[in-house]
Every structure is written in structure tokens, then in C-alpha cells.
Structure 1
């Protein structure tokens, strides 16, 4: 065999594309509606619009061929693997093709194009809809096969750790499933405390399926500040401890006060986002001040999303790499504490900062809370990156990060940054809240 299944796939797709382009040119040049063949009053612009619609239709047809070509390539992969050594390009070629194409049937059922019941829709620009799943999902066929292995209409597998691993590796959004979650309800379910008592209440253990976590109840989570082996948000389930003092009362230089930030904006902060908000205390503090905050949080060895919801504020199960699910210029404030820092790949962080700028309205503020990096990184990498996004500095504070020792030469940045009210390059200014 001279060509691997992968190279055959490329050739097949190229051939299909050539055929579609040829059909489109034929339609444009030689059809009865073509401006080159008729002497009517229809303008060339109208013909171009019809051509664009035809392009959309042909693209939909090309997408629809993927399932059929996938089956063909699967057979070719199996054939290649059965040939004697050396007759295919390499064993890796066949295994790569299998990794790409041997995807679970239920996954293909979800992501394949779906024909709109009422035909072409002008809003879609198509007569099909393509359900979204993360581009990286296809790169992990074994994990994906486990995730999509269930009985349709039955209980979902107890696989929170698997789902989160797929999400963190880029399979985001995860494909939808046709099963019921959670896999098993507790023997009894205790409803959360009524609002506003819920804001500072520990919920009943029955609200969580605990199999994915080292702790099996909330008492263990509250006490884990005294245990070894927990690094992330170690004491944030203890609502009577440090959480009760965050962003209120007397604050140090790096710790800004919520009331000071709100006073700077003079009542115009109404809705916003907290990125990586732990157990939701920032959103709770804002809720007490009639500001609605959505909190993104992962479940790193703890039911963070369940806990946030039990407090009566909104959790969003979202990783740092996904585009923020808000329209341009809609939020009054975006806050992030510790999460946006030098552990994130530099280019990915740059995309994230521009995305925050995108979702903020003109005059909206980005509260960058305890960003940490090495001292030499601060001036060489991160300060130029932050300034290049286009924010106006309202407040900017730099301090030493000493929790891992002064020999690490780590630095904190806390800043309040404002999206300009007008377009164009803005002169950077430092000033206080008043």
C-alpha cells in the first residue's frame, strides 16, 4: 500500500473540495441565472449573493460527507494494520488514523450535522446545525469512548474526574449526553438554606455525590486547612475563617476593598464575572451589595460548583482556556484572584486578557487580584502584556510574594484596570479610588 489512511483522507477531502469548487464555478458561469448568459435587469450583486448561498449549501454537504468518509477510512485503517510490516507508511500512520476516526457512535451522533426541520434558516445561513464540541475531543478517543459509553435514557456513569480531565485537556465544551445525572440520588435530599441565610451556610452533605473527592463530607472540607495534601483553595470551605474577612474591612496594600471599588464606579457596577472564584465568596459579597456575579470554578478535589450554588449565587463550570460565554461589551466588572498568573502559558494568558477586555462594557473594570510571577518576568513579560491590551490603570500595586520563601523572588500585582469609554490609544494613568 503506497498511502496511509491519513494521506488517503487528505486526498479524498481535496478531491471533494475540487469537485465542489468546479460545480460552483459551473453554476456561476453557465447557469441560466448567470449574468454572463442572460440580458435581464438582475444585477451582478444578486448573482453573487446566490453564489454565497450555494457556497453555504456545498459546505454543509461537505460536512455531511464526513461520517461516510470516516467509515471508509476506518476500513482502510483496519486493512493497513493487517498488512505485513513495511507495506504501509508506518504503524504510527494507521494508529493515528484510528485515533482520529474510531470515535464512539454516540459522540458522532451528537456532533454530526443536523438538518433543520423547516429548511434553510437565514440566521444560520444554512439548512443544517452543527452541535458544538471541543476541537480537542477527537484527540482523546479512548477517554471520549469511556465518557460517551452509557445507556441512552439511563443513568450517566459516575465519571466526574474523567469529564473534568477531558475538559482541562481542551475537550471543551464537552459533548452533550443522553443520560440522567447524577448517577445515583442520595437516600434523602435536604434543600439548601433559604436566602439570605444560604450565603454563609454550609449545605447538607446530601447535596453532593462524593465519589470523586478525597473528602466525603463538608466537615472534612472545612477541616482540610489543618490537613496535609491539599494545595488548592485549602481553607475556602471554612466560611467562618479567612473567607469571612475577604475584601471587607481594613485591607493591606495588595488587598483592595469591594466597597472602595464600587464607590469608584458610583453605583454603575451591576453584573459581572469572577474567574476562578473558589467557593463563591466574592460573588456573595457582591450579592450582599445588590451586584450579580457569575463565578467560574473547577472541582479540584472538592465540590466547588455544588457549594457555590448552595450559597445562592451562580456557578459556571468553565476552564481558563475557553472563550468567555458573554457577548461583547456586556459586563460591568470582571474579577480574578490568583488564577490569572504565570502558571498559564503566555500566549494563552494573552488571549484570556483580550477576551476579558472584549466582554467588558466601555467604562467596565477588570480587578486583577494578586497576579503572581517571578520578578524578572513582571517587567519583561507581564506588564507589557497587560498594558498592550488597552486598559487604563486606575490603581496598580506591586508587592513581594513570600509564601514559598524570598529565594523564589516572586512578585504579586494587584490592579484595577478600566476599559476606556472611547476608542483609540489611551494614556496610562495611575490614580487612587477617590
Structure 2
């Protein structure tokens, strides 16, 4: 008997063993049905079924009663008719039993396969740090099992995930920021925790004080550059990061002017709500944190999601005195329901189709009643804008305050209804 199904084992299975499910009762019942079904098939194929299932039995054979030949003939005719009816019923029953037998065999094969791989989607048995990180643990009370958060798609990228978890416990973490980013973009989000320490940059200096830090390019010594193509901020400012790192040029001018079309200004957006009621918010995909910096100047606290795609976005945002959050496109937003005053989203990169609809519903969830969603130069195929995206926005439940479209672009200011 499986030691995990007898109800007596008090000790959790050792780390590394595949999960077992207590299905002993179900397995025994299934085996019993399997045996019964096959026994019935044997009886049918041997011809004994007709004898066992015969519904008619004459009261007296009367083979010796030559003077009662008419009654004997009636009995024989009745028996023949009953046997014909039974044969027809058995002929109908036989394919049904065959189907049931096939289904049971499939079920047993699936159960056997599940027991072989522990019911997990992993291609290979987990080991080392990866096994330890994703295995169940006891919570602080010791009375409940806690399963660490792990992206559903992680099992599809086991090789990359094993490489990510290949390090010396208690030592220095490898410089694998790009590997982590790729895993998250593929849906392996969140990643498992690691028992290693990231390397601190050499010659680290204290950040500039607020509010000077909002527009100061930080020293190169604030970043470990091993994982990036550019090896300093000067490279990023010259265009290595798409211009978002040019804090004294391109970024300094953003969201300061409203052209009445695709470009909205921060002040015009804030004017859509009573003065001072926009206090906290989220900027999705802000590479440099400039939107959060502009809002900070107006007394609004904004958290910025970052993926370190073109450079050390998280480090730059933090150096400006702002809060970066490592959140991928498949991640549920880490905020309570109905809490944020505004969400700013600059681009639906890596999000499309039903995944985009899930993201919009999640934004709707975290916004408070009357909260604002600002879609800023949202890239969307022109032919799908009116046919797909606009109905999707309405279906989620947002009310349009502004809606401007251009060639493959849409900017919009949407409101979560008060009721």
C-alpha cells in the first residue's frame, strides 16, 4: 500500500520525491470495474452469456409426456423466442462493454502515467536549488502547507529555469538579468526565490537628495553592467536605451504639452479629477521613471513597473528616488482591489488578444471608483482598433473621457465608473 495513502503517515515526503495523490480507494474501485468488465466480455465471447442471461425457464420440460406434445411445442417456441430476444440484447450490450473496457484501460494508463511523473508537468525530476525553491513548505504556525508562487509556464522552460537556479547557495548570484527577463516574458512569472547575494557595484556612491535626484543622471558606479550591451549611462543616453535614459533631453519635455490629439499633458489629465484627489498610481512600462518623476513634482506617488529591457531601468528609477517594481506582462498586479487613483500605460508590448483583455480587467480591479486609466500612444493595428480594441475597452466597463486615434495609435483617458 502507498505510504502516503494509508492515513497514518505524519511526515511529509522528502524533497525531490514526486508528488503522490491519495487515490488508493479510487484505484481499487477502478480495478474492480476493470475485472468485472473483462469477465463479462469473456462470458459473452464464450457463449455462456446467453445461458446465464436467459430470462425464460419453462416450468416443466415434459420430454416424457408424449401425450402433451402441443404444450411441449409451446414451451419450446417460447424458449426460442426468449433466447432470440436475449441474443439481440446481448448483441447490443457487447459494443457498449467494449467501449467501457477501452475507457477503463485509458483511465488506468493515465493514472499510471500520473503516478510515474508525480502529476507534475516537469520534463525531468527536479533537483538542487530549483527543487528546494518550488517544493511545499510549512507556514509559520507549522499547521499548513505553503506552495511558493511560481509561474505556470515555468515547466515549459525547465532548461532555462535550471540555469537560472544554478548558483552556489550563500554565494554571489550570477549576472543573468537577461535570462530572468526572458523567462518572465515567456510567462515564467514570478520566478522562484534564490539563496544568493547580487554583486554590489564597485565604488558605489550615495544618491543625490530629492528633488535634485529626479533629474540627475546617476553615476555609473550605481550599476553592475555585466548583463547589458551598454557599459555606462553615457552609452544609454546616446541612444542605447531608445532615448528614455536622456533625462536632460527627450525625457525633460515629455507630458508637458497637450496638443488636443494623441499627446496629453499631465496637468490636463489631473484636471479631470477634483484637485488633490489623484494621490497614488501606477506607471506600466515606464523605462526611466520620468512619468513618476513628473507626478512626484505634483505630489502624486507613482510606482513604475520595469523589465530592464534596454538597460538597468530599475536601478535608474530607484536612483531618482522613485519606486520600481519588477512585474512582467503575465503577472497579476500586486495591489489591493480598488486602491489606485490612476494607472498610466504607455505600450501594450508583449500583450495581445485575450491576454490584453485580462490585463485591462486587472487594471480595472486595482483602480478605485472614479479612478483613471491613461492609455498613452498605445500601439495597436489600425484595422483592429475599432473592430477589436474599442469594443474590448467598453466590455471591460470603462467610460471614455477622451479618445484620440492616429495611424496604428490610440491615446485615451478612461474612467472606472463610480457605481
Which of 129, 133, 157 is the aligned partner of 1:106? 129
Alpha-carbon distance between aligned partners in 1 of 2:29 and 2:212, rounded to the nearest angstrom: 64
- What residue is the counterpart of 1:286 in the other structure? 295
List aligned pairs for 1:56-75, cutoff 5 A: 73=116
Structure-2 separation of matches of 1:20 and 1:366: 56
> 2:331 maps to which residue?
322
Equivalent position SS for 1:264: coil
CA gap 1:279/1:15 in 2 versus in 1, 3 angstroms = same
Query: Which residue matches 2:155?
Result: 138
Choose 1 or 2 for highest CA Rg.
2
TM-score normalised by the chain length of structure 2: 0.71
Listed one character per residue, the Cα deviations across residues 363-385 of structure 1 (whole Å, up to 9, x for unaligned) are: 00101111122222111111111
User: Helix, strand or coil: the match of 2:23?
Assistant: helix
Q: Pairwise CA RMSD of aligned residues?
A: 3.0
Q: State the partner residue of 1:156.
A: 173
269-278 vs 368-377, which deviates more? Answer: 368-377
The one of 241, 248, 255 aligned to 1:240 = 248
Summarize deviations over 1:148-173 as a string: whole Å, max 9, x none.
Answer: 11111111112111111111111111
2:56 corresponding residue in structure 1 = none
Answering whether residue 361 of structure 2 is matched by residue 344 of structure 1, we say no
Encode CA deviations 1:1-35: one digit per residue, 9 max, x unaligned. Answer: xxxxxxxx99975835837999xxxxxxxxxxxxx
Work out the CA distance in 1 between the residues paired with 2:309 and 2:252.
22
Of 99, 116, 137, the match for 2:139: 116
2 CA distance for matches of 1:17 and 1:213? 56
Residue number in structure 1 paired with 2:228: 213
- Asked if 1:198 is matched to 2:207, the reply is no
Q: How far is the alpha carbon of 1:335 from its aligned partner? A: 0.5
Q: Return the match for 1:419 from 413, 416, 419.
A: 416
Instruction: Name the TM-score, length of structure 1 as normaliser.
Output: 0.69
Describe how 1:302-317 pairs up with structure 2 within 5 A. 302-317=311-326
The Cα offsets for residues 370-415 of structure 1, whole Å up to 9 and x where unpaired, read as 1122222111111111111101111111123xxxxxxxxxx21111
Aligned to 1:390: 397
Structure 1 segments (4+ residues) deviating >6 Å: 9-12, 19-22, 69-72
CA distance in structure 1 between the partners assigned to 2:416 and 2:324 by the alignment: 25
Structure 2: where are the runs of 5+ without partners?
1-16, 31-111
What SS does the corresponding residue of 1:261 show, helix, strand or coil? helix
- Is the CA contact 2:368–2:416 (under 8 Å) kept in the aligned structure 1? yes
Shift of 1:191: 1.5
- Listed one character per residue, the Cα deviations across residues 225-254 of structure 1 (whole Å, up to 9, x for unaligned) are xxxxx5xx5111111212111111353521
Q: Which moved more, 1:320-329 or 1:282-291?
A: 320-329
Structure 1: how far apart are the matches of 2:160 and 2:172? 19
Q: Distance in 2 between matches of 1:10 and 1:148?
A: 19
Q: Which residue of 1 aligns with 2:387?
A: 380
Contact 2:242 2:310 survives alignment (8 Å): no
Instruction: Give, in whole Å, the separation in 2 of the partners of 1:205 and 1:167.
Output: 26
What is the distance in 1 between the residues matched to 2:378 and 2:307? 19
Query: Residues 123-155 of structure 1: CA distance to partner in whole angstroms, max 9, x if unpaired?
Result: xxxx22121111222222211111111111111
Residue of structure 1 in register with 2:67 after alignment? none
Q: How far apart in 2 are the matches of 1:10 and 1:129?
A: 17
Say if 2:374 and 2:413, in contact at 8 Å, map to a contact too. Answer: yes
> 1:132–1:252: structure 2 CA closer, same or farther, 3 Å change rule?
same
Residues 316 and 70 of structure 1: CA distance in aligned 2, closer, same or farther (over 3 Å): farther
| Distance in structure 2 (CA, Å) of the matches to 1:215 and 1:282 | 23
Instruction: Tell me how far apart the structure 2 counterparts of residues 147 and 11 of structure 1 sit (CA, whole Å).
Output: 23
* 8 Å CA contact retained: 1:70, 1:101: no
How many pairs were matched up?
Answer: 321
